[in-house]
């Protein structure tokens, strides 16, 4: 069955326990460094960080970014004053009609909702199938969206896993969302992306991007 992502997603609270430490286990000490992911597009660069308390989504996204999985994919769905969505490997081909459907049988990621991250402007979250076919709200393993609405999209809080935050390039998100698009909200001009990952000291990230841990 093909994936259809006309709506976005989060993972189930019941499965969130899979990412929680065992009772009595010591929490890992926070590191002094973090990874900054850069999404490069023809309209500019977007820098983001990924949250350590959503480890399943973080690890999945970082691996794909490092491996070049997202290179050549597009932001295939944009809705002004809402969000921009991308990451589908099908968006690399010449057929625009399959964008957003994703590979059949692609694995999902268990929900990590207990972290409680909100859909603020620039929040990075995972797409998923609708509740009626996906009651656990498990996340798709590749497609993601970035909140473009400046006031946030808080009606999605607690329903979709937010696992990262844009720390620079919010203006690029606005430019992508403003592109002319077809009836399926696909931009008429492809916005292809390339991702790189850089490990930096948190103090340097705070100084360079003004981000507070």
Residue 17 has pLDDT above 70, yes or no: no
Residue 68 has pLDDT above 70, yes or no: yes
pLDDT band at residue 31 under the 50/70/90 scheme? confident
Residue 210 has pLDDT above 60, yes or no: yes
Residue 173 has pLDDT above 60, yes or no: yes
Closest CA to 185 of 107, 60, 31, 80: 80
More confident residue, 168 or 30: 168
DSSP tag of 119? -
Residue 161 has pLDDT above 80, yes or no: yes
Mean pLDDT of 148-164: 97
Residue 33 has pLDDT above 80, yes or no: yes
Confidence at residue 75, expressed as pLDDT on a 0 to 100 scale: 98
Confidence at residue 178, expressed as pLDDT on a 0 to 100 scale: 97
Confidence at residue 11, expressed as pLDDT on a 0 to 100 scale: 32
What share of the chain has pLDDT > 90, as a percent? 78
pLDDT band at residue 29 under the 50/70/90 scheme? low
Residue 36 has pLDDT above 90, yes or no: yes
Residue 18 has pLDDT above 90, yes or no: no
CATH class of 33-209: mainly beta
| Cβ atoms 59, 34 nearer than 8 A | no
Mean pLDDT of 141-156: 98
Long-range contacts (CB closer than 8 Å, 24 or more residues apart) made by 56-63:
56/18, 56/19, 56/109, 56/110, 56/112, 57/109, 57/112, 57/126, 57/139, 57/161, 57/163, 57/164, 58/163, 58/164, 60/109, 60/141, 61/37, 61/144, 61/163, 61/164, 62/35, 62/37, 62/197
Mean pLDDT of 48-68: 98
More confident residue, 38 or 17: 38
Residue 26 has pLDDT above 90, yes or no: no
Residue with tokens 């990924």: 50
pLDDT (tens digit per residue) in 69-125? 999 999 999 999 999 999 999 999 988 888 888 887 889 999 999 999 999 999 999
Residue with tokens 């969130």: 16
Mean pLDDT of 187-212: 96
């Amino acid at each position: 069955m093909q994936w259809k992502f006309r709506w976005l997603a989060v993972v189930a609270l019941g499965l969130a326990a899979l990412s929680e430490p065992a009772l009595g286990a010591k929490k890992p000490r926070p590191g002094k460094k973090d990874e900054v992911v850069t999404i490069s597009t023809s309209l500019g660069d977007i820098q983001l960080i990924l949250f350590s308390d959503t480890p399943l989504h973080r690890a999945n996204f970082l691996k794909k970014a490092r491996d070049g999985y997202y290179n050549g994919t597009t932001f295939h769905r944009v809705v002004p004053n809402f969000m921009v969505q991308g990451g589908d490997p099908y968006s690399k081909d010449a057929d625009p009609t399959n964008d957003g459907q994703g590979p059949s049988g692609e694995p999902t990621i268990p929900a990590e909702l207990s972290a409680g991250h909100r859909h603020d402007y620039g929040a990075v979250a995972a797409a998923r199938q609708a509740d009626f076919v996906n009651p656990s709200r498990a996340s798709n393993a590749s497609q993601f969206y970035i909140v473009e609405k400046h006031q946030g999209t808080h009606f999605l809080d607690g329903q979709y896993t937010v696992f990262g935050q844009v720390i620079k390039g919010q203006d690029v998100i606005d430019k992508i969302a403003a592109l002319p698009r077809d009836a399926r909200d696909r931009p008429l001009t492809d916005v292809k992306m390339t991702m790189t990952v850089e490990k930096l000291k948190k103090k340097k990230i705070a100084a360079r991007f003004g981000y507070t841990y």
